[in-house]
Structure 1
Amino acid sequence: MTSALALAVGATVAATLPAAAESSPLLNQGMLEAMQHDLGLTADQAVQRVAAETKAGTVEQSLRAALADSFGGAHFAAGQAKLVVGVTDAAKAAEVRAAGAEPRFVAHSANKLDSVVSRLNQDQAPADVSGWYVDVANNRVVVNVQPGQAAKAADFVAKTGVDRGAVSVVEAAAKNEPLYDVRGGDAYYMGGRCSVGFSVQGGFVTAGHCGRTGTATQGFNQVAQGTFRGSSFPGNDYAWVAVNANWTPRGVVNNYSGGTVRVAGSSEAAVGASICKSGSTTSWTCGSVQAKNQTVNYAQGAVTGLTRTNARADRGDSGGSFISGNQAQGVTSGGDLAAGIIYFQPVNEILGAYGLRLVTS
């Protein structure tokens, strides 16, 4: 057995520390499949629609410049596969038709509606007002407000001094919340700090000594993130966290150089192979695989089946990603920091233990 140190920061559990999609000129295979599933299109219909939309985008930009203040916005009518262009000057209709679009007379120019939005942006809206936007198809600015609170929205609009005739107040129940990505190597918190290993469907895998089952987590930004749904330490050193709807697991690892490394699978690297680690303390470090099936004796008990490396890590890197090429290898467990020896828990064992599916990109 080898005596070592687990690498969580402040954790109460430890005393110390598939296949890539094909591409096409118009849309890749993943987008094609999503359009078929979500929009109810056949493959041919999806390709034809994207081609029509691409052409419509070019025509819109051209007419926006040509019509200037007479341009009343444009939208793609999917049912007719046609670009509909608003004009405030009926004399411009022929120019729109000549460009291959369908003209529609409207009361307000796009510039005016955008200026209304800009003016609304300058004032603090009541909490019950959830947002506002230009509704191009109906040539208006829509202000959304919680049901029963229309008067508050109307008062807000009136105080800004914008043209009330260009604004519609619409009641709609809404709770807007920001969305965040789950990436390997990013920090998360649970009373201490650890690092994300790899994204799985519904969450991410990490080190078991970072938290017990039921422990709540916050993301790198200290926003509520999820809950440990499974954890094993000692004996093993693995866990998985189920994230809430505000977090999206991504098949990437933070390289701490302003970018990410994609995760394509989890084929195991051989002893001697190069390997890199991503973690929230020491960022991105690399070394090589030195041994497998290592038993490590931590103060809390022995952990078996670990892989030994010489990629540098420190407290807070626990749970972080070990990756070789674009293949996920495991999550940081601990090590002998003075000797430069770091161990990781193989990821395939974690996936199998909890029946999880690795998110790839």
Structure 2
Amino acid sequence: MKRTTVTRSMLSMAAAAALVLSTQAGPAAADPPAAGCLVDRLEQLRALQHRLDGLALDGLAGAGQYWYVDHQRCALTIGMLRGAADPATSNFLATARLTPAPVDIVHLGAAIRPRLARGPAADPNSRPPNGFHGGSTIYSGLTGTVFICTAGFNGYRPNTAATAGHCARDASTWYDGTGTLIGTVGQYRFPDADWAVIPAAEGLPLAGDIVDGNSTTRITGFAKPRLHDRICATGASSGTRCGTVDAVDVTVNYPEGAVTGLVRSTQSGAAGDSGGPVHIGSTGVGLISGGPSEGAPTFIQPLNF
């Protein structure tokens, strides 16, 4: 992976718009620890992020995959699909380079997408006993090829299950592994955000935990993830994998539209994990949203809905 660092030249006024680009193979060289961005610089970076968000919301971000303010480096980090040179991408990068604040461009080998999957309908042997659990595989139908996602937390809103908003965008009715009706989507947001709540079908007991194989984790409360938190997430395809939050307030430019306010973590994942619960011990903090088709990073919808 290549990282390109962009800074504004500080020579003459005639050269004020010139950019100095330095590229090195592999990860970016480590900077000295930053005491934090000065207020003016931080405001510049946030304003730039909002301008880029506006382009993405208008479908003009080209191959820009994600971007966020990196407080440690005091720069805006942009993940770009490697090799893209279309006009929209060029214009997007030109906008990014108009700021006097530094911009770090990370070249990506794979696109960032929601982690929805398609596959065969429910397996009647896959559901754990004693109710419906967070972390369970959920299906959009009972026969043939269907959409597959993961249940998030039960009870984040009373008497509801949760999953990713892009799952609800593609299907309104969801079933568990035995073909038992979970419910019909009540509310969802995608793009812009990525969450959905499903009021439980009559008689469906909602367990207050998340399940991975034969083990369960009781969830006793909810919070929002913070930078450097050590988190674990459970997905239908990946099981439980853990990592560290390395960016917050991330904009992700999915093919279906931009989603703002996400969190990036170092854990890997795969298609089918969408909507899965993200937690710190017994505290729920988010839902799996997307990432590359396989691997890291993983982008997370915080529990703020």
- Give me the TM-score of the superposition, normalised by structure 1: 0.47
Which residue of the other structure, out of 245, 248, 263, is the alignment partner of 1:292? 248
Q: Secondary structure at the match of 2:179?
A: coil
Partner residue in 1 for 2:231: 275
Q: Share of identical aligned residues, percent?
A: 29
Partner of 1:197: 152
* Distance in 1 (alpha carbons) for counterparts of 2:207 and 2:245: 25
1:239 match: secondary structure? strand
CA distance in 2, matches of 1:259, 1:282: 15
Correspondence for 2:79: none
Residues 106-255 of structure 1 aligned to structure 2 (within 5 Å): 181-190=131-140, 191-200=146-155, 201-212=158-169, 215-255=172-212
Distance across 2 between alignment mates of 1:214 and 1:195 = 13
- In structure 2, do the counterparts of structure 1 residues 220 and 339 end up closer, same or farther at CA, with 3 Å as the change threshold? closer
Q: 1:7 to 1:237 in 2, by over 3 A?
A: same
Inter-partner Cα distance in structure 2 for 1:337 and 1:189 = 19
Structure 2, unaligned stretches of length 5 or more?
1-63, 67-110, 120-128, 141-145
Supply the distance in 2 between the matched residues of 1:338 and 1:195 (Cα, whole angstroms): 16
Contact 1:225–1:246 (CA<8 Å) still a contact in 2? no
Q: CA deviation at 1:261?
A: 0.7
Structure 2 SS opposite 1:199: coil
Counterpart residue type for residue 317 of structure 1: D
Is the radius of gyration larger for structure 1 or structure 2? 1
Residue 154 of structure 2 aligns to a residue whose secondary structure is strand
Shift of 1:10: 2.7
Q: Is the strand fraction higher in 1 or 2? A: 2
- Secondary structure of 2:185 counterpart: strand
Residue correspondence of structure 1 range 276-355 to structure 2 within 5 A: 276-337=232-293, 340-347=296-303, 349-350=304-305
* TM-superposed deviation, 1:232: 1.0
Q: Which has the higher helix share?
A: 1
* Contact 1:279 1:313 survives alignment (8 Å): yes
Q: Distance in 1 between matches of 2:171 and 2:299?
A: 25
Give CA-to-partner distance per residue, 1:289-320, whole Å, 9 cap, x none.
Answer: 11111000000010000010111211111000
Letter in 2 for 1:198: F
The separation in 1 between residues aligned to 2:248 and 2:208, in whole angstroms, is 25
Distance 1:249 1:217, change over 3 A: same
Q: Give the whole-Å Cα distance in 1 for the aligned partners of 2:150 and 2:243.
A: 19
Number of residue pairs aligned between Structure 1 and Structure 2 = 181
**Shift in alpha-carbon separation, 1:335–1:264, aligned structure 2, 3 A:** same
Cα distance in structure 1, aligned partners of 2:274 and 2:149: 5
1:26-65 residue pairs with structure 2 within 5 A? Answer: none
CA deviation map 1:28-83 (0-9, x unaligned): xxxxxxxxxxxxxxxxxxxxxxxxxxxxxxxxxxxxxxxxxxxxxxxxxxxxxxxx
**1:299-347 CA deviation, whole Å, 9 max, x = no partner?**
0010000010111211111000100121101111001245611011011
Check 1:262–1:248 CA distance in 2 against 1; reply closer, same or farther (3 A cut): same
CA contact (8 A) 2:182 2:201 kept: yes
> Distance between the aligned counterparts of 2:139 and 2:248, measured in 1?
29
Q: Which moved more, 1:239-248 or 1:214-223?
A: 214-223
Cα distance per residue 1:147-196 (max 9 Å; x no partner): xxxxxxxxxxxxxxxxxxxxxxxxxxxxxxxx952211101111311000
SS in 2 for 1:197: coil
Partner of 1:27: none
Superposed CA RMSD in Å reads: 2.0
Cα offset, 1:243, TM superposition? 1.5
What is the letter of the counterpart of residue 222 of structure 1?
Answer: G
In the aligned structure 2, how far is the partner of 1:266 from the partner of 1:303?
A: 22
- Contact preservation (8 Å) 1:182, 1:204: no
1:230-282 deviations in Å (ceiling 9; x for gaps)? 111111111111121232122111133x1211111112343112100111111
Q: What CA distance in whole angstroms lies between the structure 1 residues aligned with 2:251 and 2:300?
A: 11
Counterpart contact for 1:235–1:301, Cα < 8 Å = yes
Q: Give the letter aligned to residue 262 of structure 1.
A: R
Contact kept? 2:163, 2:276, Cα under 8 Å = yes
Would the aligned equivalents of 1:196 and 1:204 in 2 still touch at CA under 8 Å?
yes
SS in 2 for 1:10: strand
SS at match of 1:281: coil
Secondary structure at 2:269's aligned position in 1? coil
> Which TM-score applies when normalising by structure 2?
0.56
